[in-house]
Amino acid sequence: MTKLIGLSGSLRQASYNSALLRNAAGLMPEGAELVVESIRGIPLYDADVEVNEGIPLRVTELKNAITAADGLLLVTPEYNNSIPGVFKNAIDWLSRPDSDIKRVFGGKPVAVIGASPGGFGTILSQNAWLPVLRTLRTDFWATGRLMVSRAQTVFNQDGTFADQKIEEQLRQYLAGFTAYVRSSRQSAP
């Protein structure tokens, strides 16, 4: 069984990106599972907190989940043409201490998708993730791209898909990423 961890970069209850992630969990190819995790409960990064109190429990739990998974799917909103602060903050905590970067992220297959009410999807946010993922030495899957634009027309009120074309694009994206994760796992030493 191929296991992926999925994280939405939004805390908002009716988030399009969280809806995209929940839908993705139900569209995984056979023999694969996407476990939806949350960045909720991760405090603002503060080096003094890290030194005096250690890594927060929620961060440790999420680091362990990512480490145990075969791949990581980041579902990113786009705020002010870039990465949402709350999402970047979570990744910053997950990379602490520096000695854990290799364990949590090193060589981990990672993919990035996103949804936005705007006309360009999340292209700028997705591009802004590239230097971060490179710094963490992830194995970024660059073959596929999924940027859902005009998200308010794509989802029903309950967060399910109203647009079957986008649903099929997501299904194909997940099949491609899962195949990549499986091939990466087989070629690992």
- For the chain, the domains span 2-187
188's CB contacts (< 8 A; 6+ apart) are 107
Crossing angle for the helix pair 164-187 and 16-25, nearest 10 degrees?
Answer: 60
| pLDDT score, position 80 | 94
| Domain range 2-187, CATH architecture | 3-Layer(aba) Sandwich (3.40)
Give the global pTM.
Answer: 0.97
pLDDT per residue rounded down to tens, the chain (189 residues): 999 999 999 999 999 999 999 999 999 999 999 999 999 999 999 999 999 999 999 999 999 999 999 999 999 999 999 999 999 999 999 999 999 999 999 999 999 999 999 999 999 999 999 999 999 999 999 998 999 999 999 999 999 999 999 999 999 999 999 999 999 988 766
What are the phi and psi torsion angles at 110 (to 5°)?
-130, 140
User: CA 39 to CA 54: how far, in whole Å?
Assistant: 18
User: CA 156 to CA 188: how far, in whole Å?
Assistant: 41
Q: 94, 66 in Cβ contact below 8 A?
A: yes
